[in-house]
Homo-oligomer: A and B are copies of this chain.
Amino acid sequence: MQPTVLDHAESRPLRFGVNYTPSQGWFHSWLDFDPDAVRRDFDDIAGLGVDHVRIFALWPLVQPHRGLIRAAALADVRAVVEIAAEFELAVNVDALQGHLSSFDFVPAWLQSWHRRELFTDPDVVQALADYLEALAVSVADQRNLLGITLGNEVNQFAATRHPDRQQVTPDAVQAWLHQLIAATRQGISDSAAVVTHACDDAAWYDDRSPFRPEHVAGYGDLSVVHSWVFNGAAQTFGGLGDGSVRHAEYLLQLAAAWHVDDDRPLWLQEVGAPVNVVAARDVVSFIEQTIRNAAGVRGLWGITWWCSHDVSRELRDFPELEYDLGLFTTDRRPKRAARAFARMIGEVAQAGDPAASGAPAADEDPAALVLDDTDPTYRSSCSPGGAFHRAWLAEAAERGRGPAIVLRSRVGARTQHPERDLAHATDTQLRGM
């Protein structure tokens, strides 16, 4: 077995990448696959100084029928990985898209008359496993394969607010993750690639979400965090408020709180500057502060910016903010955000390993906050503007660094932390614990 991709991190303090949104035709470009167009886009991306890209298959194009996994579609994914290698970019491949920038791509065999449960129907889950394994097999021998993520925020399909909600319990989520991760590992065989899954922040903030923090922190090789400040953070605290520019840092600390293994790595797999809530003039500062703050979190493996290229306005119906998240325009000119992001990559590299430079583990952080995860509404409390979030921000403001987080359910297990009565903790009580 090769050394895992994670070991590469030894040669640099933090990995940087971008989520690849094709400049021409967005993800519909899979239908008109053009290796040279990918090559041009990857040339843009490599110029930023990043070391990896995250790419997104369109599930209905790869598996348009239960029983049909298209070899040509897998070959196209493999070709993108090969092109990335030309630019010395590692590649993470996401499979179950699924959800992308407000659009749901679900194959016909799961829709309408054939509507079935995505998370619990055994035939469906087996078909997903088949897809993941086949996708993994198709790229497993690529030396620049970083990893495979089950899919982009697949948990959104189980959200209460989803217009066609898929039913699933937390226990069934575990079974689903277990089966699909196992199938993917089977596919990558002895490759160095990692296997992950990705949730939006409902896992942390929505009391009703069947995808829970322990799923993020317990399944896959890294804990994956997607940080979007349009979720109320920027609306509440302002685009450059601490609640926004520390939002990624905060989510990373939250994820770390659920780690059983202190050495489990964290991946800030999506973070971006949405101009509906971050003023255009503030984007550069948002990028700088967000990256500086997140980079200080112990265990952070890498930051993958959303996204590489803007979406063409010829493609209708995106939420307004989605058109403008790119580091490059649709005609491939770098935006100010691109230069800021590239500068930050250099700054972080020069500063050396931020973890080595002093970010304390939870056990050693005197400012660590205790989160009462035994309260069934703890996720509301964690959500932007909630009591726990505000307590964490107050501590961060005082110390200039967001505090580590300790779960109440585990306090007794950690000898460094005397057990205290946290059942009725208020903002004030929580501060400094």
Binding site for B on A (CB under 8 A): 25-26, 28, 31-32, 60-61, 64-68, 70, 72-73, 102-106, 108-109, 111-115, 123, 162-164, 314-317
Contacts and interface: CB of A to CB of B under 8 A. Distances in A.
Given A31-B70, A115-B163, A26 B104 contact: no
Nearest to A157: B112
B109 A113 contact: no
Contacts of A70: 28, 31-32
Contacts of A111: 103-104, 106, 111, 164
A117 B54 CA distance: 34
A64 B28 contact: yes
A293 B109 CA distance: 37
A65 B113 contact: no
Question: How many monomers of this chain does the complex have?
Answer: 2
A114 B65 contact: no
Contacts of A114: 102-104, 317
Contact of A315 (B65, B73, B105): B65
A105 to B, nearest CB: 5
A385 B123 CA distance: 38
A103 to B, nearest CB: 4
Given A163-B112, A316-B109, A64 B104 contact: no
A262 to B, nearest CB: 39
Question: Which 3 A-B pairs give the minimum distances between C-beta atoms?
Answer: A104-B112, A66-B316, A67-B316
A123 B28 CA distance: 20
Contacts of A28: 64-65, 68, 70
B103 A317 contact: no
Contacts of A162: 112
A347 to B, nearest CB: 38
Contacts of A108: 103-106
Contacts of A104: 108, 111-114
A113 B102 CA distance: 7
A88 B68 CA distance: 33
Nearest to A111: B104
A115 B70 CA distance: 28
Contacts of A112: 103-104, 106, 162-164
A159 to B, nearest CB: 11
Q: Point out which of A25, A65, A102, A109 has the most chain B C-beta atoms below 10 A from its C-beta.
A: A65
A17 B180 CA distance: 46
